[in-house]
Structure 1
Amino acid sequence: MPILVLGATGFIGQQVALCLQAAGHPVIGLGRDIRQASARFPDIRWITRDLRALRQASDWLPLLEGVTVVVNCAGALQDGLCDALVAVQRDAMLALQDAARTCLPTPLIVQISAPENLGRAGTAFMATKLDADRALASSGLPHVILRPTVVVGRNAYGGTALLRAVASIPGLLPLVDAASPMNAVHVHDVAQAVVDAVQGRISPGSDMVLAGEPTRTVEDMARFYRRWLGLADAPVIRLPSGLARPLSFAADLAGRLGWRSPLRSTAIRISGIGVAPEPGRPTLATPDPTLRLAAEPAAVQDLWFARLYLLKPLMILTLSLFWILSGLVPLLDPVTTSLRFGASLPAAVALPVTILTSLLDITLGLVIIVQPWAEKAMLGMIAVSLAYLAGGTLIEPTLWLDPLGPLVKVLPSILLTLATLAVLEER
């Protein structure tokens, strides 16, 4: 009978789906955007759904037909343009539990949550997670709740991607909260725990932390990643915690535009208290995740990813400012700007063209900073740039020889857009 994996396109969910499939279980993967995952793993049956739209029991019933296990790997760090914590982490899960009560046989629900002691950070992320956990624990449904600490693996996403990026900085290691505990568990061990729960080796009703041994500090993990990337050791620059506040404020604003930065305030508040297994809590100890990572040697593309991770937001901001300013400057004196067309265009045409193209540039510069529209904005930038090159060449070819290089400068702009487009995908 099939197993439904929620969030199967994510960092944890993908590994869970593959491990379940390798163990002989048919898998149904559910995600918001399954285009890449369905191409990579055609043997998995894929379903496109947004958990924000599954907030009634009736929404779940067609998805649960014939399903024996539901594994919830879905989640969000913080509210934003593309994420709604209450809807995804609480309401959708409560609706799932209501629907599961009516199914025969009643499916086992395996919930991937987070260590309860992270609730001390006072974040909506943990509050909504714990609401769903408590409801599941008291629901009477067969269930297992697994609470991994920081999940690491050959791939990287979110906070672990940021740590790799920091570790890749040439010559130094700038760290905030360098001494904070950072327990980590390998994603394969999380997936194996799910398989154990599905196959009965973890008893229904269990609620346990998954923690690697030993617990390290943020500095220790950063130094490990630096070695893993093939870089020489570097001195640690211990940055004051207050420095993270303006960065998290900017990251929260970016989140409102759909960008899931690991520097958002939720992540900063959690990192401030550290991630470590809570004494007295049921804990499943897993192997040292650094040994697993060391057995998966990094290649040059891992170093590229780490360094591009920090450059990517700067590339997007550079494109945004370039296009906004390219549109604003001509509007300061549109009449004079329109004269650059020379005698090729009459003034009655050149002025409206100047104003319209300036407004188009500004629009593209604004649209690119909205994550769901960024790809289309970049494709628009490339198309408009090529049109400018073609139009400028036909209308006023002497612009190629202009000392300010208005046409020559378009070429590096196109290349920057192509490079940003190449690294736009988040997972």
Structure 2
Amino acid sequence: MKVLVLGGYGLIGEAVVGRLLRDGHHVAGLGRDVVDAERRWPAVRWIAADMSRLLAAEDWLPVVTGMDAIVNAAGALQDGPRDRLDAIHRQSVVALVAACEQAGVHRFAQISAIGADHSSADAFFDTKAQGDKAVASSSLEWTILRPGLVVAPAAYGGTALLRALAAFPGFIPAVMSRQPIQTVAVTDVAEAVSRAVAGSLPPRSAVDLVEAEARPLADVLSAFRAWLGLPRAKIEPIPAIVGRLAAAIADGLGLLGWRSPLRTAALGALARGVTGHAGPWNELSDHPLQPLEATLAAMPAHVQERWFARLWLAKPVIFGCLALFWLASGIIGLIRQDEAASILVSRGVSANFAHMSVLAGGAADILVGAAVLVRPLARRALLAMIAITLFYLAAATLLVPELWLAPLGPLVKTIPMLCLVLVALAVLDER
């Protein structure tokens, strides 16, 4: 069959793509940025498109014509500069369903979410439910799948946060640690999609995909810590106000393009509990969904998992330190520009040129210090930091070489900062 997977390089979408390829289908994937996906999955025909801009059936018709099935694994957690929940979850899905009906697409698998509800005050759950309603009201052979907390070898979003908290040194911090959670392996989600596409599930059915028993978040975190091979640690409940403060900061970073999973929407979902009903799936299928222990056992952790888990929490610290360092350096240089210029003047540089150089250097420091906090500009800002630092070192070596031996080490101390920039570049990718 010819199958189109929306969000084909996401946490669930990528697993679905791999499973459908193994099933022998011809797979196309759609997403906003498919460059990396094209390298990793050359057997897939990738389509670069933003769902939030495909809001009419006519927009979708060229994409879905000729397809036998559609899998919608696309979604966003919260509104932001790149994400508009109503457009992605509702408007685009309404248009997509209409296009599928016109183009004669047979089957439609919708990846929804546990807790999707029209009456929810949370925009994520409300818009997801409206998208589900558009699918369920159609004439297509539809299946709506609502996964619990998806556990996968890939690590970003909520799964990355779980790993990071589980690897916290000394203890495991947890907000709402007693809230019930039901997990599901991403391979089980892909299996369910495979069956829906093949028509081996009853058409026009909606089911939860969750393990049989719920467990508190604290137990999930402890299981991940054991999976990482780290010593047992005590769960330390974190006051809700601290969680709300962290979520507010994450929301602010979201406006700068950083897609942290620790946002208000995520806390709202946790407060509801991530639970569903395993019974309906077990009645439809002879493939019971595996519990968390089996999911983790099927994807053994090695040293790269521990590196990732530890670096994930260090990442905001790294970027925050770099931003503060460069902003402070630039501001101090501008405040004390006469002293800075006098060093150059003492080496034979004209006073005007010395002051212009100090002003330009201070402005450059402030510019890159601010730019590194903006996700779309971060890579260029980090590369600029490297270039500026190397220029400073070269200029200082030529003009004031004795600074290398100065007691406070003003030049020597730039080397660790340069190394930190290289670390920031190494951990910049989010998925």
Query: How does the TM-score come out when normalised to structure 1?
Result: 0.96
**Cα distance in 2 between the residues matched to 1:149 and 1:260:** 20
- Cα shift at 1:119: 6.7
- Cα shift at 1:395: 2.7
Asked whether 1:352 is paired with 2:362, we answer no
Q: How does 1:321-336 map to 2 (within 5 A)?
A: 321-336=324-339
* 1:228 matched residue in structure 2: 227
Q: Residue 195 of structure 1 aligns to a residue in which SS?
A: helix
Asked whether 1:414 is paired with 2:413, we answer no
The code of the aligned residue for 1:179 comes to R
**Cα distance in 2 between the residues matched to 1:42 and 1:88:** 26
- Cα shift at 1:117: 5.8
* 1:201 matched residue in structure 2: 200
Q: Structure 1 residues 106, 137: closer, same or farther in 2, change over 3 A?
A: same
Q: Residue 209 of structure 1 aligns to a residue in which SS?
A: strand
- Cα shift at 1:120: 7.1
The code of the aligned residue for 2:223 comes to F
* 2:139 matched residue in structure 1: 140
- Cα shift at 1:118: 6.6
Deviations, residues 229-264 of structure 1 (Å, cap 9, x unaligned): 001211121222222111111010011111111110
Q: Structure 1 residues 121, 281: closer, same or farther in 2, change over 3 A?
A: farther
Q: Residue 4 of structure 1 aligns to a residue in which SS?
A: strand
Contact 1:117–1:278 (CA<8 Å) still a contact in 2? no
**Cα distance in 1 between the residues matched to 2:253 and 2:277:** 33
* 1:24 matched residue in structure 2: 24
Structure 1: any 5+ residue segments left out of the alignment?
none
**Cα distance in 1 between the residues matched to 2:411 and 2:87:** 49
Most deviating of 246-255 and 88-97: 88-97
Asked whether 1:83 is paired with 2:86, we answer no
Asked whether 1:263 is paired with 2:259, we answer no
Match of 2:292 among 284, 289, 293: 289
Q: How does 1:327-406 map to 2 (within 5 A)?
A: 327-341=330-344, 342-406=346-410
Contact 2:323–2:370 (CA<8 Å) still a contact in 1? yes
Q: Residue 125 of structure 1 aligns to a residue in which SS?
A: helix
Contact 1:118–1:275 (CA<8 Å) still a contact in 2? no
Q: Structure 1 residues 119, 160: closer, same or farther in 2, change over 3 A?
A: farther
Most deviating of 415-424 and 392-401: 392-401
- Cα shift at 1:102: 1.3
Structure 2: any 5+ residue segments left out of the alignment?
none
Contact 1:177–1:272 (CA<8 Å) still a contact in 2? yes
Contact 2:208–2:278 (CA<8 Å) still a contact in 1? no
Most deviating of 351-360 and 110-119: 110-119
Equivalenced residues, count: 426
The code of the aligned residue for 1:390 comes to A
* 1:306 matched residue in structure 2: 309
**Cα distance in 1 between the residues matched to 2:162 and 2:120:** 20
**Cα distance in 2 between the residues matched to 1:372 and 1:90:** 27
The code of the aligned residue for 2:7 comes to G
**Cα distance in 2 between the residues matched to 1:124 and 1:404:** 53
**Cα distance in 1 between the residues matched to 2:426 and 2:117:** 35
- Cα shift at 1:334: 1.2
* 1:252 matched residue in structure 2: 251
Q: Structure 1 residues 117, 111: closer, same or farther in 2, change over 3 A?
A: closer
Deviations, residues 29-51 of structure 1 (Å, cap 9, x unaligned): 11222222221221111121121
Most deviating of 398-407 and 365-374: 398-407
